[in-house]
Amino acid sequence: MTSKTRTFRPSPALVIACLALFAALTGSAFAAGIGKNTVRSPQIVDGTIRTVDLRDNAVAAGKIAPNAVDTTEIAENGVESSDVAPDSLTAQDLGAASVTSSEVADQSLTANDLGPDSVGSSELQAGSVRASELGPIIQVSNSTPIAAGANGSVSVDCPAGTTVISGGAQPANFGVEMTSTLRSGNGWQYQAKNQNGAASTLTVFAYCLSGGSSN
């Protein structure tokens, strides 16, 4: 009688199934065999650590690379005054028109904080400017002769660095009729007709505010 020996060859699917079963049965044993603090950076695959793997407040400032955090990493309204170092912000850190009256402490601005010609009449309250806040007022005058029965005109300009604010005129004697007195440029003008039978003189005055700028 002849006996036959049968050879058993496991299929690839069976081999894979056995390996998967082995890994499932021994995985916890492998984890249990890892000692405390024995996992280092070389054992961690790059890019595999997620937010859920980190404890709250686990990342401190010392762990963040310089310039690694930009506006996209900061939540809206996430930065408060307490998070900003004193005197660390400059004009370049502020957006255009980002500082309004509510951010400025009362009575904290001085003349050095204001740009040239930054305060106009619209910024002044009615009656808020008094004589003590104004520069000195100077008077300038000019005279010219006027013949009998003739029309005449005379004007005067305020000096550089001053602004005309008012003016007036006066003839040398009665009988000279004023026809107009008004501002002319940065000065004052006087026009009149001499109704006398003799020559006379016209004199015009301008009152100029020092420190002003002529318009």
DSSP of 189-213, one letter per residue? Answer: EEEEEE-SSS-EEEEEEEEEEET--
Taking 90 as the threshold, does the pLDDT of residue 152 lie above it?
yes
Residues 204, 171: Cα–Cα separation, whole Å: 9
List, edge to edge, every strand of the sheet that includes 162-171.
137-146, 200-210, 162-171
Quick one: pLDDT at residue 41?
Answer: 76
Quick one: pLDDT at residue 3?
Answer: 60
* Phi/psi of residue 52, nearest 5 degrees: -70, -15
Q: Higher-confidence residue: 71 or 30?
A: 71
- The residue-averaged pLDDT of 19-42 equals 64
* Unique residue bearing structure tokens 């104004």: 134
Quick one: pLDDT at residue 52?
Answer: 76
Tally the C-alpha atoms within 13 A of residue 120's C-alpha that lie toward its C-beta: 1
Highest-scoring range by mean pLDDT, 36-40, 75-79, 129-133, 194-198: 194-198
Taking 70 as the threshold, does the pLDDT of residue 87 lie above it?
yes
| Contact (CB, 8 A) for 166 and 138 | no
Taking 60 as the threshold, does the pLDDT of residue 30 lie above it?
no
- The residue-averaged pLDDT of 12-19 equals 69
Taking 60 as the threshold, does the pLDDT of residue 26 lie above it?
no
Going by pLDDT thresholds of 50, 70 and 90, the confidence category of residue 200 is very high
**Is pTM, for the whole model, over 0.85?**
no
Q: Higher-confidence residue: 25 or 199?
A: 199
- The residue-averaged pLDDT of 46-54 equals 78
Taking 80 as the threshold, does the pLDDT of residue 96 lie above it?
no
What's the Cα-to-Cα distance from 63 to each of 51, 55, 72, rounded to whole Å? 15, 14, 18
| Contact (CB, 8 A) for 195 and 149 | yes
Identity of the amino acid at 125: Q
